[in-house]
Amino acid sequence: MSPLEQELEFFAKNKAKWLSVHAGKFVLVKGSELIDVFDTSDAAIAEGARRFGSQSFLVRQINSTDEKIYIPALALGLLYANPA
């Protein structure tokens, strides 16, 4: 099982419902349980740490679009590319 698989599945299942009431906020999810909803990711991480210590947990913003990170140098393999 990949990291946070259960949490991500639970998030996907509930995202539409949460979007209607908590859009833009951050959820804290552990296993298949919504722990709480927060205004900032820092607050969600702090609560996750208080409850779960060094275990992994999911903190994700409720947005209509999926989070996609673009790092051009990585994506294009350009870190320290040298002329041939």
Partner 1 sequence: MPILHSQFAGQGKTPDGKNVPIPPPACLMQRGPCVQVTITLADQIASELIKRQEPVPAAVSGLALIDTGAISTCIDEDAAKQMQLPIVNVVNLASASHACTKANQYPIKLQIAGIPMFFNSTATGAPLKIQGLIALIGRDLLQHCTLIYNGSIGQISLCI
Tokens representing 23 are 């859009």
Burial of 45-73, coded b for 16+ CB within 10 Å and e otherwise, reads eebbeeeeeeeebbbbebeeeeeeeeeee
CA distance 56 to 42: 15
Sole binder of partner 1 in the list 35, 38, 59, 62 (CB under 8 A): 59
Nearer to partner 1, 24 or 67 (CB): 67
> Is 55 one of the binding residues for partner 1 (CB under 8 A)?
yes
Q: How far apart are CA 73 and CA 82, in angstroms?
A: 13
Query: In whole angstroms, how close is the CB of 13 to partner 1 at the nearest point?
Result: 16
User: Judged by CB, which is closer to partner 1: 25, or 59?
Assistant: 59
User: Could you say whether residue 24 binds partner 1 (CB under 8 A)?
Assistant: no
List of residues contacting partner 1 (CB under 8 A): 2-4, 8, 41-42, 45-46, 48-50, 52-60, 66-77, 79-80
